[in-house]
Every structure is written in C-alpha cells, then in structure tokens.
Chain A
Amino acid sequence: MTLLYDIEARGLVKTFRDVRAVDGLDVLVERGDTVALLGPNGAGKTTTLMMLLGIISPDAGSVALLGHRLPEGRTQALERTNFTASYVSLPYDLRVKQYLWVYADLYGAPRGRAMETLELFRIAHLADRKNTELSSGQRTLVGLAKALLNRPQLLVLDEPTASLDPEVGQDTRRVLMEEQARDGFTIFMTSHNMSEIERLCRRVIFLAHGRAVADGTPAEIAARYGREDLEGTFLSIAEEARR
C-alpha cells in the first residue's frame, strides 16, 4: 500500500550566517494524522514550518505539500492548506469580519465561512470589532477562525493556544478535534504545552540543533527516555541538547 503524505520534506537544511538552524531533516506526515514538532527554543521548529510553507527557501532538500512540490506548486498547495501562529498579528485597521472576508477571497472560500468559523470558536459577537479592540486571546481565536476558512486539508499551527486561558484552550482543542474528525484534515503543529500535545497528537518529532532526535507516539518516546510524560521527556531531550 502506498502511503499518502500531506507533508513530504526530505533532507532539509537551512543555515543563517554561521548557525545551522535545520540540519538534514526529514518530515513525513501522513494524510489525516496529527503530528507535533517539538524541541527547545532555537531547535529549528519555526524555520522548519516556514520552509514547509515556502516562506523560507531551504539551502538543500525538497518539500512537497499535498503532493505539490515547492516552490513550483506552492499556490496549489496553499489553497488547501492554512496556517496560524501565536505571534501572528492582525491588520490593525480592519474589522474582524472584513479580515476574514479578505482571507476567504485569498483562499477561494465562500465569504459565509467567516461567520461559521467565528461561531465555531464562539466569537461571532466580535465580527464588527476592529482588530485593535481585541485581547491577545481573542486575536488568537480570530487567527484560528481564519485558519479554518478554506476547510483546509492541511493545517499548520505554530503555538496555536499560547495566549489562551486553560478553559478557552481546552475548548479550542475540542473544536479542532471535532473539525478534524469531520473533515479529516492533517494537523502539523508546534507547541510548548506538552499536555496539549499529549491530548491532540498521535505522533511527535523532537528536534534538537535542527535534527530529529526522536520520532514516535508520545508514549513511545516517553518510554524510550524513561519518563512518564512528554513534559519530562522534553526536559531530558533539552538537557541532552545542551551537553
């Protein structure tokens, strides 16, 4: 049986001046899977995500998203992909619904999806607010609503719940899991919230110094490092990386 990879990146290398941020990394993510890329600060997670989205060119290696090789097939791949991150800001001069209409047009989605996705995250009441009138948590939820506008086949999330309180964070994870169960999309994410990863992800890839040092289910990796949970595993890997 041939495996369908929504992300197929092989031999990725990226160096910034004299720092090798990503060093020969392979990322293979099967269709419908939920995979986390973890690692200490500076491990190369965000650089990897940016290379997967075609926003940073790799020095070596290849990337194919949803079967489209980058950079040639970038537009076709990104029409069925979406992305949000905790550090992404929103245009300060737009109202929430205007922002979502613009991105619905960019992704070829119906504009009616704007209200649907706001309702998913229970923030439809924010539709007429300007982005400057939102709290950081509300901006994060608007970013997530944007990320579901085009019913993506691949959802790339960088620290998606970093600015959310535990209750809203839990609700957000529930929405993502329900939507994934219904639409069958693939999630590739980073997070420093290990309990979130344990709840959401079937598989994790640990990075250190731009290389994959562990790859498997959270339980498998924790067992390999003799730890009970991902939090402890993370600490062991981070400590190893410092040595």
Chain B
Amino acid sequence: MNARRVAAVVRRHSYGFLNSPTRIVVFSFWPLLDLMLWGLITTFLRRAGTELPVAVSFFLGAILLWDLVFRTKNSVALCLLEENYSRNVITVMASPITPGEYLGGAVAFGLVKTFVTFAVMSVLAWALFAFGVLQVGAMLAVYAAILIVFGIALSLVVIACVLRLGFAADELTWVLAAVLMPFAAVFYPVAALPGWAQTVAWLMPPAHVFELMRADLAGVPAEWGSLWTAIALDAAYLAAAFALARAMFTSFLRRGLITRYM
C-alpha cells in the first residue's frame, strides 16, 4: 500500500468537491433538511406531550446516526462514479495504483465527508433543538463505527455493480440505502415491522444499533448479545462485499469492460 497514491485519491476528490459550489450546497442541504424535519417533529411531539414508549429526542439521534450509513455509502461509492461520469476510469486504471489503494483513498475521503457532516449536524441539533448527541452515551463511538462499516460494505456493493454494469448502476448508489432503511428500524422499534420484515431486520447491523440506542436513551441496560451480533454481521457483510467487489473487478478485466470508456 503506497501512502502517496492513497493520498492522491483523497486529493483528487477533495479538489473536485471544493471546486464545485453546487456540490458543497447539495452536500450541506440534505443533512440540514433531514435535521430540520426531524427536529421540528420532535419539537411538536414534545409540546403536544405525546406519550411514546421511547424518549422523543430519539428521532434526532436516529437521523444523525442513520446519516452515517447513508453518507459513508454515498461518499465512497461516488469516488468511482465521478471517474465513471468523467470517462476517466481508463486513466486511473492505466496508472500504477492498485485497487486496494484506490479503495483506501475512497474510504478515507468518504470518512472525512461523513465526519464533517456528523459534526456539523450534531452541533446544529444541539443549538437548534437542544439535543446533545452525547446523550446516546458511552457507546456512541461503537454504534457509529458499526454503522460506518455497514456504509462501507454498501459502497462496495455499489462499486461492484458500477464495475459490472457501468452507468446502468448509477441509480443504485442513491437507492440502496433507501431500500434498506425501512428494515433498519431507524425511527421505530423492530417489533413495529411485520413478522417477515422483522426477520430481515435482525439480519441488519443498523437494526441492532437503533434498538440499542433506543434502550440507552430510555435508560434501559444494553443487551450485549445484540451488540456482538451487530459486530459479527458487520464483519460478515464487509467480507462478502469485499469479495463481491474483487470478483467484479476480475470480471471487469476478463470481459474487457474498459471498452465502455473509449
């Protein structure tokens, strides 16, 4: 792993991001919109004195943490998509960079964007809606790590699809997290889902994390078994997604799919 080449990928995407005022505005707009929406719902429920089985502030914690999955997946996968849009894939692949180095750079760039967004949203949640993300408790860093790793696994699935399908996989970048979101039980307990969907939910690390977070905010002791299940599922999905991306890269070389970019 050559650190200079990894840093070059980070630099390439940082330049692209900072050169584009539109991208900066869009990058800031969606998290802000989500925060305002769920912040106002939280405020409304607090004022109405609605009785819920969980702390009302949970909604804000949920949107802050779910954004870690969504942002990581998008930021990492978009690195390859940017090369795809620019029809620059061939120049990258003809350079000495290895797939691992490119992925390392994309993950590093994605994590920087994710952490910046999380920090800004957390400060705004505290300033506008008096929700301190640290209320989640000492496990916040562990929950965040589980969600980020799941986001990286999703980004690898998108990258695998981009390698195999090219531009046709574009929509998948945006849709994948949204399709999974109902099963992740972000805003409601897993028990609220129909039976078959609960089975799917328990196979997803975020569902375990959000159940644990609801318990934390309600002052209920954490179920460590659920935490270990989430970590084990994360590891399994990351390994499977990595294997899928690797297989698609090999297939890309074998099928000569680079000819799409000529």
Are B7 and A105 in contact, CB atoms less than 8 angstroms apart?
yes
Complex CA distance for A65 and B117, rounded to whole angstroms:
44
Note all chain B residues with C-beta closer than 8 A to A92: 85-86
Verify if B46 is at the interface (C-beta below 8 Å from A).
Answer: no
B227-262 CB mask vs A (1 if < 8 Å, else 0) is 000000000000000000000001001111011011
A181 at interface, CB cutoff 8 A: no
- B223 contacts the other chain (Cβ, under 8 Å)? no
**Cβ-based interface call for B96 (8 A):** yes
Cβ of A101: which chain B residues have Cβ within 8 Å of it? 11
Instruction: Output the least CB separation between A125 and chain B (Å).
Output: 19
Say yes or no: A83-B94 contact (C-beta < 8 A), given A16-B256, A95-B15.
Answer: yes
Q: Find out whether the CB atom of A105 lies under 8 angstroms from the CB atom of B4.
A: yes
Which B residues form the contact surface with A (CB < 8 A)?
A: 2, 4-5, 7-8, 11-12, 15-17, 19-20, 23, 82-83, 85-88, 90-91, 93-98, 250, 253-256, 258-259, 261-262
How far, in angstroms, from A178 to B80 measured CA to CA in the complex?
36
Q: Which of A104-149 contact B (CB under 8 A)?
A: 105-108, 130, 143, 146
Contacts A50-B258, A95-B15 given; does A55 touch B93 at CB 8 Å: yes
Given contacts A78-B95, A91-B16, A93-B20, contact A102 B8 (CB under 8 A): yes
Cβ of A89 and Cβ of B87 under 8 Å apart? yes
B91 pairs with A146, CB closer than 8 A: yes
Cross-chain contact A102 with B82 (CB below 8 angstroms): no
A130 engages B95 (CB within 8 Å): no
B90 touches A102 (CB 8 A): no
Does A89 contact B256, Cβ atoms closer than 8 Å? no
Question: Could you tell me which A residues sit within 8 Å of B by CB distance?
Answer: 14, 16, 21, 46-47, 50, 53-57, 74-76, 78-79, 82-85, 87-95, 98, 101-103, 105-108, 130, 143, 146, 156
Sample (27) of A-B pairs whose CB atoms are under 8 Å apart: A46-B259, A50-B258, A55-B90, A57-B253, A57-B254, A83-B91, A87-B262, A88-B87, A88-B91, A89-B86, A89-B88, A90-B88, A91-B82, A91-B86, A92-B85, A93-B15, A93-B16, A93-B82, A94-B19, A95-B19, A98-B12, A102-B8, A102-B15, A103-B8, A105-B8, A107-B96, A108-B2
B12 in contact with A91 (CB, 8 Å): yes
A55-B253, A94-B19 are known contacts. Are A106 and B95 too (CB-CB below 8 A)?
Answer: yes
Minimal beta-carbon separation of A48 from chain B (angstroms): 11
CA of A107 to CA of B95 in the docked complex: distance in angstroms?
A: 7
| Closest Cβ neighbor of B6 among chain A residues | A105
> B85's closest neighbor in chain A, by CB?
A92
Residues of A within 8 A of B90 (CB): 55, 85, 87-88
Using A88-B87, A91-B82 as known contacts, list a sample of 14 further A-B pairs with CB atoms less than 8 Å apart, ordered by residue number in A.
A54-B253, A56-B256, A74-B96, A75-B96, A78-B95, A87-B262, A89-B87, A93-B16, A93-B82, A94-B16, A102-B15, A105-B5, A106-B8, A106-B95
